[in-house]
Amino acid sequence: MRRITQEIPQEVILEEKETMARVRSMQGRPASYYIVTYGCQMNAHDSESLEGMLQEMGLRGAPDRTCADFVIFNTCCVRDNAERRALGNVTWLKELKKTNPDLRVAVCGCMIQEPGMADQILRTYPFIDLAFGTHNLYHFPTLFEQMVIRQRRVIEVVNDDLGSVPEELPIVRANPYQAYITIMYGCNNFCSYCIVPSVRGRERSREPGRILEEAEQLRREGVKEIMLLGQNVNSYGLDRENGMTFPQLLREIDGIGIERVRFMTSHPKDLSVELMDVMANGKHICPQLHLPVQHGNNRILKSMNRRYTREAYLEKVRMLRERIPNISLSTDLIVAYPGETEEEFLDTCSLVEEVRYDSAFTFIYSPRTGTPAAKMPGQIDPETASARIQKLIAIQKRITAENFQNYLGQCHQVLVDAPSRRDPRQMSGKNEYNITVNFDGTPDLIGQIVPVTITEARETTLRGTTAEAKHD
């Protein structure tokens, strides 16, 4: 039965806006902030909302966490390594707090939403002043105000499994020329290794009219590229009465006229022919798709509850390339899943050889408490896991290098975002395939889409030259 997504009531959002105004005039509140973000693009976009609310409350951004009055960690719990990194950095602030007793420390996001994790963290790290989960983001101003007034820790983690959709939160975008648009929250897929449904809740889609209004506003503001976000964008709209599908929404957004449109993440089981056709016929949709396969063996895919086979995935790749011959594909891959044999691991290697991704995010399986896979027999020893991922990385590195050779001589459209980290005389940006391209240029090109002829392929980036540079 279709569940109808509910927006958070307007009066609740108005109360939070009133709270922001009160905090702005409050004596003794923190004056500056620094946000540390871990995890995916959804977390990055959440941090943009946190920054928007902090600035509405009168705080200014600090250049680094050592000179901020308020430091907030927006955490990820998808893999154990992300949790350990976050907690290691939180521990570091304990020493800083000894020299600056007025420093306030907050932890939020997926790790706090994880069942039992908030209590564990707060017992272990008593110097944390504020903690809240993923479903409390819109309530942050009230929690911040309570922390300042009470002068003691504030904790709020609610289980909002059915979920609701916040609207009209202030946002400070990290880049004025690129923007995220969250089109849906949560996930209904329950992959056996994944904690996301437990910390992000069930799928709930934003009303399409609000999404289109946001996209139109971004176009008016001069944004050149948008990324549509959701844990599984392909199931957008299934929880709403009007039934607008993701391909229909994507077609409407393409028609708004923003120069580039991307989206992620796209679950292979829900990748439809209709979506492929919208991508192929779109004027502004980038010829690039992140399509996480996770594994190349059918038994493992079934155990993961991915609900597609190797053969079905490869058929969708074939249909994509039939419609969009120049499409750039990337993926996620897990090695050392419980019970994975050497032969099953080699099935992943052979799939990578067959698909020939431009890039892949490779991970050693990380047990997540509360997921079915964490209790499965046959957990792989670290030495075997390490050997397997190194082999897989080597295969993908070779394929990336071979693929990048095919780009030599081509003219790519590069959205310039910053000077190169290694050479300030060069500019850096992403091409239509979401690959970083460096070229000789000047800062006045930042924010423009520049034609660049590819002249050199490096390990993970491309190098090129502009027509102006050739003429010079």
Instruction: Give strand pairing partners of 107.
Output: 73, 131
Q: Please give the backbone phi and psi of residue 9, each rounded to the nearest 5 degrees, phi first.
A: -55, 145
Residue-wise pLDDT for 240-251, tens only, equals 876 799 999 999
Q: Which two tokens stand for residue 275?
A: 């979506």
Q: Which two tokens stand for residue 383?
A: 């030495």
3-state secondary structure 145-214: HHHHHHCCCEEECCCCCCCCECCCCCCCCCCCCEEEEECEECCCCCCCCCCHHHHHCCCEECCHHHHHHH
More confident residue, 198 or 148: 148
**Whether residue 157 has pLDDT greater than 90:** no
* pLDDT in the model for residue 2: 47
- Helix, strand, coil abundance in the chain, percent, nearest 5: 40, 20, 40
Kindly indicate the confidence band of residue 254, based on its pLDDT and cuts at 50, 70 and 90. Answer: very high
Q: What is the CATH number of domain 178-405?
A: 3.80.30.20
Taking residue 254's Cβ as centre, other Cβ atoms within 10 Å add up to 18
Q: What is the CATH number of domain 10-156?
A: 3.40.50.12160
The helix (run of H) or strand (run of E) holding residue 290 is strand 288-290
* pLDDT in the model for residue 76: 87
Kindly indicate the confidence band of residue 5, based on its pLDDT and cuts at 50, 70 and 90. Answer: low
* pLDDT (mean) for 205-218: 95
Q: Which two tokens stand for residue 231?
A: 């844990």
DSSP state, residue 380? P
Fold of 411-471: OB fold (Dihydrolipoamide Acetyltransferase, E2P) (2.40.50)
Q: CA 75, CA 46: separation in Å to the nearest integer? A: 11
**Whether residue 469 has pLDDT greater than 60:** no
Identify whether the C-beta of residue 462 lies closer than 8 Å to the C-beta of residue 410.
Answer: no
- Residue 163 region, left (φ>0) first, then alpha (ψ -120 to 50), else beta? left
- The candidate with the shortest Cα–Cα distance to 305, out of 269, 329, 340, is 269
Taking CA atoms, 445 is separated from 91, 176, 219, 303, 363, in Å, by 41, 14, 19, 49, 36
- The candidate with the shortest Cα–Cα distance to 363, out of 440, 295, 444, 415, is 295
More confident residue, 44 or 92: 44
Q: CA 137, CA 130: separation in Å to the nearest integer? A: 12
- The candidate with the shortest Cα–Cα distance to 32, out of 6, 3, 57, 4, is 57
Cis amide linkage into residue 142, ω under 30° from 0 = no
* pLDDT (mean) for 326-340: 98
**Whether residue 472 has pLDDT greater than 50:** no
For residue 216, the Cα-to-chain-centroid distance in whole angstroms is 22
Identify whether the C-beta of residue 132 lies closer than 8 Å to the C-beta of residue 157.
Answer: yes
Identify whether the C-beta of residue 106 lies closer than 8 Å to the C-beta of residue 122.
Answer: no
Task: Please provide the average confidence, as pLDDT, over all residues in the chain.
Answer: 91
Kindly indicate the confidence band of residue 1, based on its pLDDT and cuts at 50, 70 and 90. Answer: very low
Q: Where are the domains of the chain?
A: 10-156, 178-405, 411-471
**Whether residue 95 has pLDDT greater than 90:** no
* pLDDT in the model for residue 264: 95
Q: What is the pTM for the complete model shown?
A: 0.90
Q: Please give the backbone phi and psi of residue 417, each rounded to the nearest 5 degrees, phi first.
A: -120, -20
> At 292, is the secondary structure helix, strand, or coil?
coil
Which of these ranges, 20-29, 174-183, 192-201, 315-324, has the smallest mean pLDDT?
192-201
Rg (CA), the chain: 23
* pLDDT (mean) for 326-350: 98
Kindly indicate the confidence band of residue 425, based on its pLDDT and cuts at 50, 70 and 90. Answer: confident
Specify the residue for token string 């709209």.
Answer: 237
Identify whether the C-beta of residue 22 lies closer than 8 Å to the C-beta of residue 57.
Answer: no
* pLDDT in the model for residue 468: 64
Which of these ranges, 72-76, 121-125, 301-305, has the smallest mean pLDDT?
121-125
Instruction: Give strand pairing partners of 428.
Output: 418, 438
* pLDDT in the model for residue 471: 45
The helix (run of H) or strand (run of E) holding residue 86 is helix 80-99
Using CA atoms of 353, 355, 356, 358 in order, give the dihedral in degrees to the nearest 10: -140
